Amino acid sequence: MSTLSHEEIRRLCGDVPDEKMVRILASGASVEDLEIALAWAAGESDVMGKERHALSGVAAELYDILAGDEEWQDERAAPR
């Protein structure tokens, strides 16, 4: 797993405030970590079915970074 780049974060998350971008990059997260955090943020935490585990580690850190931004959540919920 390679760490995320600025471009990958923008591709997966859309517009993210610079402060959050810096925190995500500093986390050393992988694309997989970010995809897991985004699934939880979208309310899709049941995608793992019976195998579901509590969110932890870097994915939990990313979730906290992203979920703390109500404007970003509202933007992601808007139809595109």
pLDDT at 30 over 70: yes
Q: What would the mean pLDDT of 29-34 be, rounded to a whole number?
A: 94
Burial class (CB in 10 A: 0-12, 13-18, 19+), 44: exposed
Q: What would the mean pLDDT of 13-18 be, rounded to a whole number?
A: 90
- Give the DSSP letter string of 13-56: HSS--HHHHHHHHHTT-BHHHHHHHHHHHTT-GGGGGGG-----
Neighbours of 48 (CB within 10 A): 11
φ, ψ for residue 4, nearest 5 deg = -70, 150
pLDDT at 22 over 70: yes
Q: Residue 35 forms beta bridges with which residues?
A: none
